[in-house]
Structure 1
Amino acid sequence: MNARVSLVLDAKDVVGESVLWSAEEKALFWVDIVGRRIHRLEPDSGRHDTWATPDFVTSIGMRRDGGFIVGLTRTVCLWTPGAAFEEFAVPEPDMPENRLNEGRVAPDGSFWVATMQSNLNADGSPRDMDRKSGAIYRIDPAGQVSRLTPNEYGITNTMGWTRDERFFFADTLANEIYAFDHDPAGRAIGNRRTIVAGFARGLPDGSCLDAQDRLWNCRVAGGAAVAGFDGDGRLLELIELPVSWPTSCTFGGADLSTLYVTSARFTMPAAHLDAHPLEGGLFAVAGVGHGTAEPKFGMPG
């Protein structure tokens, strides 16, 4: 492949995450967790809007009936731009030391969200972690919450569903990417196996699948790249980026042929940011394949 990387927006996100493409609006949406804001960008026109959030905002997905489903620190909310955040579900009401992290709409229209021990103080500064207490949850369109795994993960990242009923997931702290089997109804996962372990470039953060079910994984914490893996975890390509902490990615554009990548500048000292001012930016990568349309939350019509 002949990947070509370009800067789309010098967003200066503290922790950019959960980027997705709206074909209807021809726009990208993503969050800045620590910056407590949601972005909307039309790449063609350059129009850029942001909305402040009442708490750390950790994930976002589109809804079938319009608007979005959004993960905040501990609650999952329904939201329409310009309106209030309406509480919809609380996955772990009895685990106050945990927070939400990765979240994505599944092919069946449910919203899957994963938790972790909070690594953030109230002011957004880093907090030490001393245990692995994260789990994966499924929230159906009626708001019913089901736990899909034990509370045994460190920093939960990556969610992707293949056409042959596999589910990909990652634990950043363990530097591992997993494949599970999941039932056709999408309500359970099992038979976990590790497909990527100890990969030398950074640590696994967010990912997306392309139309061939290849996994494109952002390598955070100094990885400075997006790694393309096949379904068995074999490296296919490494896309070098001009930022050291890429965080999440999605395919977008008119034919879903552009890979958009968010990044972070969390905990980076001023001297590093002076020397690397694009940290926290949004990037486009051309020439790596095509994606598929993002599912929407809600009962299929």
Structure 2
Amino acid sequence: MTAHMIFPAADIVGESLVWDDARACLVWVDIIGRRIHRLNPATGEHQTWSTPGRVTSIGLRKDGGAIVGLERHIALWDWGDAFHIVCEVEPDLPANRLNEGVVGPDGAFWIGTMRNNIGDDDGPVPIEGAHGTLYRLTPDLTLSRVTEDLFGITNTLVWPTPGRLVTADSLANALFSYEIRDGHLSGKRLFQTGFERGVPDGSCLDAEGFLWTARVAGGACLTRTAPSGEIVQVENLPCSWPTSCAFGGPDFATLFVTSARFTMTAEYLQAHPHEGGIFAVQPGIRGRLAARFG
């Protein structure tokens, strides 16, 4: 069950991995690279598209297109040049940006914000405190804030059941569970904390309802977490900054992983060129179909 690199993407910050079952392809973004990728793992066919500024997340639509989180806007996109802006998120908070965005089982696009940690030179900017929160864009393109809670770095958006959301605050090294009622969150409780390898980034669910989480910032692994919040498995990876994961392949038996090379020196990358690549592992359990917007 050893993970191996399947594509040398060399992403600065690869993120938001999703399996497009209709095209048998992986789709993901490179935030600082300002590009969207599509890869057929079976054939090796690879495409990229440039984005207008940093791109933070992507989801699939029922009509075959995509929904995209840019730095401050949400857009509809149809695998071409044009990004059709739907809305600006937090126009009154210019120091914030978008981060994680995932289509939920309700067909809405759930997306988080955070204080911008990327400088004008694309270098890291330290952030302190909780300045971001969570939003939901419904198929009729209505955007609403779903909680009054604040987060340092919003990550992980998964639904163990349609009425429950698990999300992460990477800055706090913690995952939280919420109940969903009429599209809003309540009943916040701590789901998992205390794991010392890196911090939680993106996650996905397997067919048994267990949570797989990429441990970024030196974690170099995925964790598999039971519905109770207990980590039951740790899968080591040949990259130090795994960022998101998604099950895919014809039988959803392969777990794919994006990674980042953000903050790494040229000398380190020369010795570790696989950082920022796409990896695959066979965990012995199948995953779930990605939800689509609409």
TM range (shorter): over 0.9
Matched, 1:291 2:248: no
1:150-299 pair list within 5 angstroms: 150=148, 152-163=150-161, 165-183=163-181, 185=182, 187-298=183-294
Partner of 2:270, secondary structure, is helix
Shift of the alpha carbon at 1:236?
A: 1.1
Partner of 1:81, secondary structure, is coil
Asked whether the equivalents of residues 70 and 98 of structure 2 are also in contact (C-alpha less than 8 Å), the reply is yes
Aligned length: 294
Identical-pair percentage? 49
Question: Which moved further from structure 2: 34-43 or 160-169?
Answer: 160-169
> Structure 1, residues 99-142: CA drift from partner, whole Å, max 9, x if none?
00000001011000000000012331112213311100000111
In structure 2, the partner of 1:57 is: 55
CA distance in 2, matches of 1:189, 1:291: 25
CA distance in 2, matches of 1:37, 1:164: 31
In structure 2, the partner of 1:80 is: 78
In structure 1, the partner of 2:115 is: 117
CA distance in 2, matches of 1:158, 1:294: 14
CA distance in 1, matches of 2:11, 2:151: 25
CA distance in 1, matches of 2:60, 2:40: 16
Partner of 2:171, secondary structure, is coil
CA distance in 2, matches of 1:28, 1:110: 21
In structure 1, the partner of 2:34 is: 36
Give, as a single letter, the amino acid of the residue that structure 1 aligns with 2:230.
R
Partner of 2:147, secondary structure, is coil
Asked whether the equivalents of residues 16 and 57 of structure 2 are also in contact (C-alpha less than 8 Å), the reply is yes
The runs of 4+ residues in structure 1 deviating greater than 3 Å are none
CA distance in 2, matches of 1:60, 1:138: 14
Question: Which moved further from structure 2: 110-119 or 90-99?
Answer: 90-99
Asked whether the equivalents of residues 31 and 38 of structure 1 are also in contact (C-alpha less than 8 Å), the reply is yes
Q: Give structure 1 stretches of 5+ with no counterpart.
A: none
Asked whether the equivalents of residues 160 and 168 of structure 1 are also in contact (C-alpha less than 8 Å), the reply is yes
Asked whether the equivalents of residues 111 and 134 of structure 2 are also in contact (C-alpha less than 8 Å), the reply is yes
Shift of the alpha carbon at 1:151?
A: 5.3
Question: Which moved further from structure 2: 132-141 or 192-201?
Answer: 192-201
Partner of 1:28, secondary structure, is strand
Shift of the alpha carbon at 1:86?
A: 0.7
CA distance in 2, matches of 1:213, 1:93: 36
Q: TM-score, normalised by structure 2?
A: 0.97
Q: TM-score, normalised by structure 1?
A: 0.95
> Structure 1, residues 226-250: CA drift from partner, whole Å, max 9, x if none?
0000112111110000110000000
Give, as a single letter, the amino acid of the residue that structure 1 aligns with 2:13.
V
